[in-house]
Amino acid sequence: MQAVILVGGEGTRLRPLTSTVPKPVVPLVDRPFIVHLLDWLRGHGIDDVVMSCGFLATSVRNVLGDGSHMGLNLRFVEEPEPRGTAGALKFAEPFLDERFLMLNGDVLTDLDLSAQIAQHERTGARATLALVPVSDPSGYGLVRLHEDHTVSEFVEKPPADEIDTNLISAGAYVLERSVLELIEPDRNVSIEREVWPALIGAGLYGFASEAYWLDIGTPERYLQGTFDILEGNVRTEVRERLGDGYLCVDAAARIDGRVIPPAVVERGAHVATGAHVGSLVVLADGVSVGEGTIVERSVVLQGAEIGANCLLRDCIVGAGVRIGDRTHVTGGAVLGEGVTIGADNVVARGARVFPGVDLPDGALRF
């Protein structure tokens, strides 16, 4: 079985993490985000993947290669300009089989693709959309189904008194090649707004699932996805590394302080005497945490250096960041790659500090 993954977006909502790195290869726990998706596909027998790229496509290709080390055949197509979800699919048409999966590249999920494909075959559908329930449907486009699983209607953010379903699209579709006939070439086309409505009553089905599903397109959701992986709320290959104790500390890490599970501490990381790391923490390769520092519910990326007596809570610290003594980074703050924050600063309330910024001691009390 074959899949095409749309990874053409610039990841603007996830900046500054995506200011220097394309969203598909932003690290999520212990591997690039897109690798979680590729692991999931491989687990359902998909071994041929077409990556439909746009922004920083070469960087994605450089990280993933040809996929052979993951047991996959990866090919890359690069849109000359943004063409929308359907336009990107049409551009990849020469690579596509008679039946294939189409996936949004910014979703973390463990949905049962095998069951979705089986329903697609059983019903003779032209397109089968994976659907998941949400607790608050008011902010989403909803999908109504008939009893035979055919799609009856799409409803965009209906008023409360008109909500009679909580199913939304999960961004995973099983498609027959004939769907491509509905897409005009060389133009910007939305599959959600233009193609699916045209297929209602003509072979469009929904596959409803209670699976885990999360769009990680914002820092808040990036952290939530990290926590859910560490806690095992979503099935990923990280679970095997964590073991029954929900803790993975690389043998080449040096732990002089405490690490509380669930947590991942990678090669070359150092937790100094009196430091407290966890729970719900990822320390990437080469991270150093100073004496007496507390790191909770946070991600600290490769090579970052955290001073003494700091507090990091509910934050994301980019690769190569340097944080001076007694500085607090909390409340959803995000520090971009290579940022330097001097001593006695407070960065909080969702503040985003972009790459290249150098703040002196005591400069910020946000």
Judged by phi (left if over 0) then psi (alpha if -120 to 50, else beta), residue 274 lies in left
Query: Residues 270-291: pLDDT tens digits?
Result: 999 999 999 999 999 999 999 9
Query: Is 252:285 a contact under the CB 8 Å cutoff?
Result: no
Asked whether the predicted pLDDT for residue 7 surpasses 90, the reply is no
Helix (H, G, I), strand (E, B) or coil at 181: helix
Structural domains in the chain, sorted by start: 2-216 (3.90.550.10), 243-359 (2.160.10.10)
Distance CA 169, CA 167 (A): 7
Task: Give Dmax (Cα) for the chain.
Answer: 66
33-43 helix and 57-64 helix, angle to the nearest 10 degrees: 60
**CA distances (Å), origin 268, targets 27, 165, 209, 255, 338:** 17, 49, 41, 10, 18
Phi then psi for residue 117, to 5 deg, are -65, -40
Query: Among 81-85, 149-153, 338-342, where is mean pLDDT lowest?
Result: 81-85
pLDDT > 90: percent of the chain = 69
When pLDDT is averaged across residues 141-155 and rounded to a whole number, the result is 90
Q: Please, which contacts does 26-31 make with residues 24 or more away whose CB atoms are closer than 8 Å?
A: 26/222, 27/284, 27/301, 27/302, 28/108, 28/216, 28/222, 28/225, 28/226, 28/229, 29/226, 29/229, 29/230, 29/236, 29/238, 29/264, 29/282, 30/238, 30/241, 30/248, 30/264, 30/266, 30/282, 31/238
Query: Is 340:319 a contact under the CB 8 Å cutoff?
Result: no
Indicate the pairing of strand 141-145 with strand 151-156. Answer: antiparallel
Indicate the pairing of strand 334-335 with strand 213-215. Answer: unpaired
Q: Which residue has the higher pLDDT, 305 or 8?
A: 305
Quote the pLDDT of residue 276.
98
* Torsion sign over Cα 135, 214, 244, 252: negative
Query: Is 318:219 a contact under the CB 8 Å cutoff?
Result: no
Indicate the pairing of strand 2-7 with strand 48-53. Answer: parallel
Distance CA 170, CA 133 (A): 9
Query: Among 106-120, 129-143, 226-240, where is mean pLDDT lowest?
Result: 129-143
Q: For residue 164, name the pLDDT band (cuts at 50, 70, 90).
A: confident
Q: For residue 57, name the pLDDT band (cuts at 50, 70, 90).
A: low
Q: For residue 56, name the pLDDT band (cuts at 50, 70, 90).
A: low
pTM greater than 0.85 (yes/no): yes
Closest CA to 249 of 266, 230, 236, 231: 266
